[in-house]
Structure 1
């Protein structure tokens, strides 16, 4: 119970801190830390962590704004597991990248990707940046709100996936 309370308070503080700073930051500067914290609050299937690292993939156009924000940290771990940041420029490279978490920028939210989401969601936690990504089968998105970013979760996709998201995050999210 104490751990749950700590997690809930941490998540609430994180979101409120971002809401007060949002006006001065670029979207990637807000989303990137949220992606990192989503990885912290996600339980990945044990068989997916055999290599003892978490691959956070970014399918976005160069200069990879979201990936660069996370690369600013010198050494990044998620719950004591090393985090590798992988930059992707094509949908075809997803299957060979062993992604645990895949961030998809809006230009890549294509029909080709949407057709593959059901399959991708079985091995990879998919996170977009638009509401349509969630509506089209992505697990979640981090979308602009009035004064901050908000997390939107497709509950059916989450239930059908092998990932477990901490209830504190689910409680703070908008559910679709």
Structure 2
């Protein structure tokens, strides 16, 4: 396969999850992922990731953790998608000259959307995103990964730390918007 990989929560110990949380916190990225809830410590992060309705994968590049993606609110063949990434600087993926950041997003989306069961049927048809528009880096990231924008919903995203709601950009990802080649990055 490619340079990216994913490790599901059932293959991660609590220590693995805590270590990843510590990496996010050390990089100052933990509140980007958990802006809508009270601050978590590493034990709280593990409890959250172990919930039966949260489906997280640690994403690796060249066997090193680079981020996390998780699905929530699964309904049939659709789910909400969430991302958080460790800082990557300007590192590039060799074969396609993509940044590691864009490669991460494309790999995650493609690996979910192009995955099939033992009958050859796709497991998911649609991934839905909701991104606070004030997080301009996240908006730029999702646009670079094939997000199809559905619109901005006023007050859709709650920021726990300020107690305020901000507009959220609703997006969808499908096999028509995410290239199949990205699943083997």
Superposition TM-score, scaled by structure 1 size: 0.29
Which structure: greater strand fraction?
2
Q: From the CA coordinates, give the structure whose radius of gyration is larger.
A: 2
Structure number with the bigger relative contact order (C-alpha 8 A, sep ≥ 6) is 1
Which structure: greater helix fraction?
1
Superposition TM-score, scaled by structure 2 size: 0.28
